[in-house]
Structure 1
Amino acid sequence: MPTARRWTTAFALLLLPLTVPQGSNVLAQGNAASIRYSGPITITRGGVYRGNWQSLDPKQAAVTIKTSEPVTIEDSNIRSKGTLILSNFQRARVTVRRTRGEALNPGRPLPEYRYPGRFLHLEEFNSAVVENNELIGTSGMYFRDWRGHPERGETVKILRNRARNIDGRYSTGPNTFSTEKVRLVQFVQFNAVRHLPGAEIAWNEVINEPGKSRPEENISIFLSSGTAQSPILIHDNYIQGAYPARPSDKDYSGGGMMLGDGKGRTLRDAAGYVRAYHNVIIGTSNQGIAISAGHDIQAYENRILSSGYMPSGQPIPSQNVGLYVWDMHGDKQRGTFFNNSARDNLVAWQTPLRGANTKSNWWFPDCPKEWRQKDGRTSKGCTGNRTLPGRVTQTMERQEHANWLARVKAAGLKLGR
């Protein structure tokens, strides 16, 4: 396996502009088939790397980073039957920008439990900046155990990326996936990323199609936290679609955003200090935005809508609730579930299988209108949320996407490459 050289490209790089035809949820393939790929690489020195790399072995990442020196991967094309970019236990400092990543079907039998590769998989890392990339059919990004130095500005930034079909279905052979057995994957998951200042997940566009994807939550904050002075900011994202591997199934636990998850036995370990605002969540079935654990987590001024129908016009059997705050693990008794709020959101979550004009907008079994602190102060809980009159239509869902794209343009931002 070759070791990458800095500032080199093994084959000519073909830049692929992102175009999404009207009414299409699939990233344009452009001239992807004409790209000439080299084999997997291992990066052992810091620097800027550009190239086209692939791995046809599900056990081998296309790009492996084995250095703590700052590494930038830019203007590249990566595809893999396994992980696309991997760094474990290196205290990596990674920037990935303007790169197209495509997961290939591992093509292995079900007993091997191979699923589409992560675009980026980091464990025991120092920092990550992921911006203006395109993710196609991957199992998203996974971050575990941040080890960075806040005084050096080491944090996590995930900005202006476009993703299609986050997929955790296990392969059952060439060109086929299981409709029953899955890996729980996300567009972004933080796992044990604790006390992280400066983190931001913003202006990303994530679209999942039924039968071509299987995310759990699209964004998951699992036993992870920001700080009181610098919470994790999740804002201005567009997330559309979340379905079970067999879209006609009723049982499904995924959805749009899980802002606090995992049994928090101590305050140090619990999810906390997260703010999610100005996001648009469309048709993510089981839930739009949820808080099931943690403390000091706020969801406010988001737009959470669903017609309750798939693009085909079939009702979504796993449709549940738009917004909830629920102490799933009984963490109030441990003193790790408090000060969570869901306020001033627009929620219209239609459930057509329960009745033609029925909505299940929110559920707040563990969220009062106000939280009272030990020192007598109060903070907002779950209040000020509103809904829309009448039925939510698929035309209204499409308009939400158009409105969000107009906001992107007005902000002077560019998505993807």
Structure 2
Amino acid sequence: ITHTENVIPYAFAGDTSGDYNSWTPTVGSHLLKVISYAGANATGIATLAKVIHFTVTQGVVSVTPTPSPMPSATPTPVSSGPTISSITLINADSDVEQPLDGVSGHSSIITEGSNFDLSKVGQALNVRADTESAVSVKFNLDGGTVSHIENVPPFSLASDTNGDYHSWTPALGNHTLQVTGYSDINLGGIEGATLTIHFTVKSTVSTTPTPAPTPSPVPTATPSTGGGGSPVSTTEPSSYSPPTTITHGGTYSGNWQSTNMDVPAVTINTSEPVIIQNCHVSHNGTGIETAGSNANLTVRNCSFHGRTPTQDNRGRGGAILAPYFKNLVVENNFFENTATVVQAYFYNGNATDQETLRVRFNKVRNINGNFRNNTTGFSWENFVAIQNFVQSAGNPRYGEIAWNDVVNEPYKSSCEDIINFYSAGGRADSWFKVHDNFLSGAYHPNPHDDNGSAGGIQIDGPDNTRTAYIEVYNNSISQVLNGGMGAAAGSHVYMHSNRVVSSSKEYVTDPVNGSWTTGSYAGLWIFESVAGASPAMSDIRIENNLVGWANPDYVQPYKNRLDFLPQYNLGGGIKNNIPWPDQAITKATEDNEYQLFVQKVFSNNVKLGPQQ
């Protein structure tokens, strides 16, 4: 369903002067994507989309009729409750019953003492409870190692979406499965007898996942800036100059501040080459803005300091805003408490290495779109937002986002996609490269907001032609509400050799055990954000990544994990990835991921942040 609204209130099913039209969602899992535009009828500059996953269920109401008086009542037998007649093995790839011996036409019923071989039945499996009378079903595997409740048929251990079974791979060895039916939803009503089955899983071919690489010890003397170098202090100066406008090319240094949210600290109003270096920029609104001047801008060795908004219900400004640019280079800078760090719209360069987009060697702490006057309001912000490369110039060659250290902390930041491509990318002879970044944290002001919508790296937009030729590799991603990385649009997108590992917990309210951030969803995804786009999405590959994304509501591939869901694997491009071992992912795990990044920075002699 696709719908466009031009008049407030913006309603999915429309309205008439505030009288909302009725809409009844179908039972099952859904994905809702909302995009706002600057112009009417979905025209003009598009903002980043908000994506929400939700599930609709439908219970059965038990109605007890009023008994009629009878001269001599006959006692009614007490119901024994719903029965589970059998347990069936399911192939989650084909969504059909899977014979235990792998031979078509043979039995798929798991009976007491059954065994099956993963080399014959595959690893994408599920288990269905067969019942004619149960309204809800409880599964208990191995004494609670996996415990799951189903309210909608087919009742399956690893759940499903409208009959599209989710994938589950059982561990090798002996198992005990207990299944119980109930006469009402959520294990209500009468409890039926529990069906208990013991079965064995084996494999003539080893299916043990490749262990995650054991991190090497990180030298305690290694500086977080990495690679030595000559870093300069990011501490703010004692005084600033007022806002300035640059109208001619050249190299500029200084310290500028703007406290007016509608006036940038630095405005670039020339297409001549401008270099801004060795500076501090303090801003409530935008830090540096190119003002639509088809800019050629380099920003290096500067520190940006975002300030609390001076107006209610409005987010602070971004650090660098470059609409209509031909060259933008942002290297060796420090950013704290700003809104979107780099916004790059409408590329107008000549597609040479002198007119491109490069964002490298920067340090970022706490991207912040929070409003000043309430605890839940915020604006959608990013580290890098690359959008609407729809000009005749096409996409740039030699585009690169690399070696950036980005950390957002819960309760101190609010961020959507950390890196977002929207109708933008590279070229067939020069793919846009996103590599060797550390991307951690994308929270709402309340990290426990259920409506997580962010991605560590998201490929997005309505255009599968411009959104193309993007390679993503050697990045580390964690703690993102909604998930790690994926594509919702595009063609020729290749994501490989990344580390996508998250505990999906924040450790402020509970420093020891952590507290689940319920908006965190899955590690990887491929889905179509705009149905029917022409040409269709194609050649999306997400392969050979190390993936471990914690989620307490799923068993994919292990308990408390959702590395990815088969129904969000459009075209089957998510394959041959390495699952993190079946063990808890904790804050120590995430801290170690950062130390691995620091070690990599140091060993490659990369210098992060402002340098002398």
TM beyond 0.5: yes
CA contact 2:474–2:496 (8 Å) conserved in 1: yes
Aligned residues: 368
Q: How does 1:2-401 map to 2 (within 5 A)?
A: 31-32=235-236, 34-110=237-313, 113=314, 115-139=315-339, 140-151=341-352, 153-172=354-373, 178-193=374-389, 194-258=394-458, 260-264=459-463, 267=465, 270-312=466-508, 313-331=514-532, 334-352=534-552, 357-364=559-566, 365-369=568-572, 381-389=573-581, 390-401=583-594
Runs of at least 5 residues in structure 1 that lack an aligned partner in the other structure: 1-18, 22-27, 173-177, 370-380
Higher mean C-alpha displacement, 347-356 vs 83-92: 347-356
The 1:275/1:340 distance shift into structure 2, 3 A limit, reads same
| C-alpha distance after superposition, 1:342-384 (max 9, x if no partner) | 0001100011365894100013534345xxxxxxxxxxx3221
Please give the alpha-carbon distance, in whole angstroms, between the structure 2 residues aligned to 1:224 and 1:31: 35
The TM-score with structure 1 as length reference comes to 0.84
Which protein shows a greater Rg?
2
CA contact 2:352–2:396 (8 Å) conserved in 1: no
How far apart are residue 309 of structure 1 and its match?
A: 1.0
Please give the alpha-carbon distance, in whole angstroms, between the structure 2 residues aligned to 1:277 and 1:87: 30
CA contact 2:370–2:378 (8 Å) conserved in 1: yes
| C-alpha distance after superposition, 1:216-241 (max 9, x if no partner) | 10000011121011111000000011
CA contact 2:525–2:574 (8 Å) conserved in 1: no
| C-alpha distance after superposition, 1:295-328 (max 9, x if no partner) | 1111111000011211322111111001111112
| C-alpha distance after superposition, 1:140-170 (max 9, x if no partner) | 2101000011246200010010001112223
CA contact 2:352–2:398 (8 Å) conserved in 1: no
The 1:393/1:91 distance shift into structure 2, 3 A limit, reads same
Whichever residue aligns with residue 222 of structure 1, its letter is Y
The corresponding residue for 2:609 is 416
How far apart are residue 283 of structure 1 and its match?
A: 1.4
| C-alpha distance after superposition, 1:267-311 (max 9, x if no partner) | 3xx411111000000111311002001111111110000112113
Please give the alpha-carbon distance, in whole angstroms, between the structure 2 residues aligned to 1:163 and 1:316: 22
CA contact 1:325–1:363 (8 Å) conserved in 2: no
How far apart are residue 91 of structure 1 and its match?
A: 0.8
CA contact 2:351–2:395 (8 Å) conserved in 1: no
The TM-score with structure 2 as length reference comes to 0.58
CA contact 1:126–1:147 (8 Å) conserved in 2: yes
The 1:207/1:31 distance shift into structure 2, 3 A limit, reads closer
How far apart are residue 30 of structure 1 and its match?
A: 6.1
Whichever residue aligns with residue 161 of structure 1, its letter is N
Whichever residue aligns with residue 350 of structure 2, its letter is H
Whichever residue aligns with residue 238 of structure 1, its letter is F
User: Percent of pairs identical after alignment?
Assistant: 30
How far apart are residue 386 of structure 1 and its match?
A: 1.4
How far apart are residue 202 of structure 1 and its match?
A: 0.1
Please give the alpha-carbon distance, in whole angstroms, between the structure 2 residues aligned to 1:271 and 1:211: 33
Whichever residue aligns with residue 381 of structure 2, its letter is V
DSSP-derived class of the 1:125 partner: strand
Please give the alpha-carbon distance, in whole angstroms, between the structure 2 residues aligned to 1:366 and 1:196: 29
DSSP-derived class of the 1:180 partner: coil
The corresponding residue for 2:25 is none
DSSP-derived class of the 1:339 partner: strand
The corresponding residue for 1:11 is none
DSSP-derived class of the 1:240 partner: strand
| C-alpha distance after superposition, 1:245-266 (max 9, x if no partner) | 21121112013110x21112x7
The 1:151/1:414 distance shift into structure 2, 3 A limit, reads closer
The corresponding residue for 1:377 is none
CA contact 2:350–2:396 (8 Å) conserved in 1: no
Please give the alpha-carbon distance, in whole angstroms, between the structure 2 residues aligned to 1:132 and 1:244: 27
The corresponding residue for 1:6 is none
How far apart are residue 180 of structure 1 and its match?
A: 2.7
